[in-house]
A and B are shown apart, each in its own frame.
Chain A
Amino acid sequence: MDVVEGIKRGDRRALARAISVAEGGGAAPLVSALFKETGRAFTIGITGPPGVGKSTLTGALVTRARKEGKSVGLILVDPSSPFSQGALLGDRIRLSDHFTDPDVFIRSMASRGHLGGIAGATGDAVMLMDAFGKDLVIVETVGVGQSEIEIAEVADTTVVCLQPGSGDSIQVLKAGIMEIADIFVVNKADHPMAGQLRREIRVMMTMLDWQGWAPALVMTQATAGEGVDQLWQALWSHRAYLQESGELRVKRASAFAHEVRNLIVGRLAGAVDGAMAAAAVSGLMEQVADRVLDPYAAAEQIFQRFDPKAPHSPGARLAPRVRATVKGFHKASETETAHHHKMIV
């Protein structure tokens, strides 16, 4: 299957396969071939703690978008099990109204060890859906509690969802999520504490000095579709702001710079693994273990001989010391580990 031609033709199987190739670490030729077709989609990130209603709200947004005739691509990220590398991807359950709509493409994605709240291949998948011609690409992150804020690198507009009665506003303050929110949503507005959370967020917003765009605050009841019109409007207001102020280009340029850096770091990580394996073979690491050589001196020696262009041979990697294995679970495959590398750091 020529997935590039398939994507240009609008073949859904080709798009699906291309995303799998990207997940396997093979995005480079696809992105190279399709990059000129990208940059048109409005990309939206939906993030927030587990169970806040991200999937339900995403479903309601898709319904709204379809009413306007806009096509939608969805990427729904859930965590992989650190033990088995498997994943239970259940966000789709809340999107069943859209399963057979030819203008909606839904892809569940496991984080595969990536820690930023999205998967290593999420950005590539967004690009592929953009090239496919989707008007909107919406990414639902892993249910985050801490500082998983990478979504802001991938999305033009980031929606942070919170729910009443959960101490969410404190979390937000602590975790630095405040800074990535273009729009705050207080979902479950039917909850008696919703008004209080709204006030808390208002107060928090006065504590930061906003330049250009101060986050919008929208109350929703996703299960009833309430507040979704207001959210839709807030999304397009932010979109208009980004375009008129020139911020969109600045934002994307900085995200690309970040991505390019990550790609280089990923390649370097492979070379570092090779150098470490060679150092182990030459007995250098033994010397450290015997306390003959200190870790800084060992690193210096390896660095002086370091060849960043040394081909990455995954077989040469040092396996992390495994302290215990769970019965029946198996280790990460080579490609997953390599992929993991490419993305983290």
Chain B
Amino acid sequence: MMSMPTHTFRIVVAKPGLDGHDRGAKIVARALRDAGMEVIYTGLHQTAEEIVETAIQEDADVIGVSILSGAHMTIFPKLFGLLRERDAGDIVVVAGGVIQSEDVPRLQEMGVSAVYDAEQPLQALVDAVTRLAAERRVRLGL
């Protein structure tokens, strides 16, 4: 009874940094909703601290970080540092947006589970998020 599975995956879609539009993030959010997920959309200009607190309170399986500018090399170390500090390292982090391909291995090294650029089909992102969320639930026995 206690650990009845919900099967409804929850994902926080965040748009950190200063660049001003979130069209891409909204398209992704809608695609994830249409795949049956509960998508918590937090708006523009989120700090790492705000993203982590949101993910904790929302009991998110996944944090999806949308990046347009080159800000990712500073946001991700902060994000992972805070997740570890708050005992929330089990929350999966994926990145999407405009990311130079030479940055991808470094992001993965930091702990980003999947990286998507706008060129790839949306369905690939949806599939990856679904798989990562399901694996996390299994790992945690949820």
Contacts and interface: CB of A to CB of B under 8 A. Distances in A.
A86 B1 contact: no
Interface string A1-21: 000000000001101110111
Nearest to B7: A333
B56 interface: yes
Contact of A107 (B8, B32, B57): B57
A226 B47 CA distance: 28
B34 A335 contact: no
A108 B47 CA distance: 19
Chain B, interface residues (CB within 8 Å), range: 35 or more
B108 interface: no
A335 B7 contact: yes
Interface stretch (B37-45, B69-77, B97-105, B111-119): B37-45
B109 interface: no
Contact of A87 (B6, B33, B47): B33
B38 A87 contact: yes
Contacts of A24: 4-6, 8
A329 interface: yes
A25 interface: yes
Contacts of A328: 34-35
A313 to B, nearest CB: 15
Contacts of B85: none
B39 A86 contact: yes
Contacts of A13: 56, 59, 86-88
Nearest to A86: B33
B37 A86 contact: yes
Instruction: Name, among B6, B7, B86, the residue most crowded by chain A CB atoms within 10 Å (CB to CB).
Output: B6
Contact of A329 (B6, B34, B88): B34
Contact of A92 (B7, B36, B40): B40
Chain A, interface residues (CB within 8 Å), range: 35 or more
B3 interface: yes
A16 B58 contact: yes
B39 A16 contact: no
Contact of B59 (A17, A89, A93, A99): A17
A21 B7 contact: no
Contacts of A12: 56-57
B29 interface: yes
B54 A87 contact: no
A309 interface: no
Contacts of A184: none
Nearest to B47: A100
Interface in B16-56: 29-30, 32-43, 46-47, 49-50, 53-54, 56
18 contacts: A16-B56, A16-B57, A23-B6, A23-B8, A26-B3, A28-B1, A85-B8, A86-B33, A86-B37, A87-B33, A87-B39, A89-B39, A92-B40, A92-B43, A99-B53, A99-B54, A329-B34, A335-B4
Given A112-B8, A328-B35, A336-B6, 19 more contacts: A13-B88, A15-B57, A16-B58, A19-B59, A20-B10, A20-B59, A23-B6, A24-B8, A25-B4, A86-B35, A87-B33, A87-B38, A89-B40, A99-B46, A99-B49, A99-B50, A99-B53, A108-B58, A336-B7
